[in-house]
Structure 1
Amino acid sequence: MSIAARSTYHHGDLRTALVEAGMALVREGGPQALVLREATRRAGVTPNAAYRHFANHQALFEAVRAAVLGVLAAAMEAELRQAEGLRDPAERARGMLAAVGRGYLGFAQAETGWFRTAFAFGVHDVEVPADPARTAAKGLNPFELLGHALDAMVHAGVLPAERRPGAEYLAWSAVHGMALLIIDGPLRNASAEQQQVLGARLLRMVELGL
């Protein structure tokens, strides 16, 4: 999705223009930067025009957050593609788990404003009906992509089936914690090489722990 600000919108495209304007705002300043008045200004309409598509600020925020999760899903899929090409089922499954983790960590570092928005307070993907906006080519949101990789590990015999239930929460908590240490915590001043090495070790630890 393009996130370029628009000065005007085309007929029937106001909702998209507002979401794109909102994405630009949160990319720059995180979730607190999403101000409805500023989003409408960037879309080239009056604040009242937003209410044709969004009942309030929270409704716009949820639409923006959904679009951001879609971008995160695409980043994770980009890492997945190479791993999915491996011939050996066990190596492919292990590679897929590491790939979704790398995509997640890389997104947190490269797009910190979007990452913070994706996980700002609100209704999360595990609690609401499926939404294509939160997905990329595979039709899976980021949480489902992690489940996809874990299922591949079970099918390949790498992860015992009895250890599969709840495994996504364990893996997610570890990788999300590392992401926060890198963007907001003591690892924010570490070199890119140090962050990469620690990230790789963490992903290996998650695999072995599971």
Structure 2
Amino acid sequence: MAATSAGKTYHHGDLRNALVCAAVDLATEGGPERVVLREAARRVGVSPTAAYRHFDGRGELLRTVRAHARRELAAAMERAAAREPGADDPVLAAERRVTALCRGYVGFAVEQPGLYRAAFCVPRPHAAGEPAPERPSGEPEIRAFTLLREALEALTTLGTARPGGRPATGAAAWSAVHGLSLLLVDGPLRRLSPQGRSVVVEATLAMVVSGAGVD
């Protein structure tokens, strides 16, 4: 389901989607903490009672927003990879894809910090009357990680990765870009100038690629 801004055009046609759109707007503005079912209902122009017919509580709404944010993160990575120029050398092409995916990941975090935080939030335990949240073991793999893991596996197929480097390489690469993103969004690196941020990002991405290859 693609969420689009509910705005002031809602005419009580698809209330659930309108509430999700409003919740996505709230997360975009202020992160997962801003996602409140009553506020989403107010923005849409309906009563909380009407909203509760579609969501059992804030936890369910926030999990829906989290799923949307994760899809947006993966889409940003794929757009970045699609913009990367091709290369005749398959190894270079594979390395460029890894770099572009990582750049798209960090770029999404910097440009959409509220949604980025929502993508990795942990909704509170369900209250009485709310359905139990998904078990972590039952959640589908986060597509952002899948994209990065598959790109790194392509390097393995081409014979450029260190023997024995799997499966830890994918997790290590994800840790690098995720940690950098958090530092740029909420940590001390948020004060970097755009030029300084670009230097740090590119250095980190170069480290990710070199870490996946041979010495």
TM-score (norm 2): 0.85
- For 2:52, what is the secondary structure of its paired residue? helix
Q: Is the 8 A contact 2:3 2:68 kept in 1?
A: no
From the CA coordinates, give the structure whose radius of gyration is larger: 2
Determine if the alignment matches structure 1 residue 177 to structure 2 residue 179. Answer: yes
- For 1:177, what is the secondary structure of its paired residue? helix
Q: 1:166 and 1:85 mapped to 2: Cα distance?
A: 27
- TM-superposition CA deviations, 1:150-174 (whole Å, max 9, x none): 1211122222453121222111111
- For 1:6, what is the secondary structure of its paired residue? coil
Q: 1:130 aligns with which of 140, 143, 154?
A: 140
Code of the residue aligned with 1:188 in structure 2: it is R
Code of the residue aligned with 2:106 in structure 1: it is L
Determine if the alignment matches structure 1 residue 24 to structure 2 residue 25. Answer: yes
Code of the residue aligned with 1:117 in structure 2: it is A
2:41 maps to what in 1? 40
Report the CA distance shift for 1:69/1:9 in structure 2 as closer, same or farther (over 3 A): farther
Q: Is the 8 A contact 1:84 1:96 kept in 2?
A: no
Gaps of 5+ in 2: 124-132
Q: Is the 8 A contact 2:98 2:209 kept in 1?
A: yes
Worse-matched range after superposition: 118-127 or 78-87:
118-127
Report the CA distance shift for 1:90/1:154 in structure 2 as closer, same or farther (over 3 A): same
1:186 maps to what in 2? 188
Gaps of 5+ in 1: 135-140
2:126 maps to what in 1? none
Identical-residue share of aligned pairs (%) = 42
Count of equivalent residues: 201
1:154 maps to what in 2? 156
Q: Is the 8 A contact 2:3 2:17 kept in 1?
A: no
2:57 maps to what in 1? 56
Taking only aligned residues, the RMSD between alpha carbons, in angstroms, comes to: 2.3
2:92 maps to what in 1? 91
2:114 maps to what in 1? 113
Q: 1:33 and 1:207 mapped to 2: Cα distance?
A: 36
Q: 1:191 and 1:127 mapped to 2: Cα distance?
A: 40
Q: 1:142 and 1:9 mapped to 2: Cα distance?
A: 35
Residue 9 of structure 1, CA deviation: 4.2
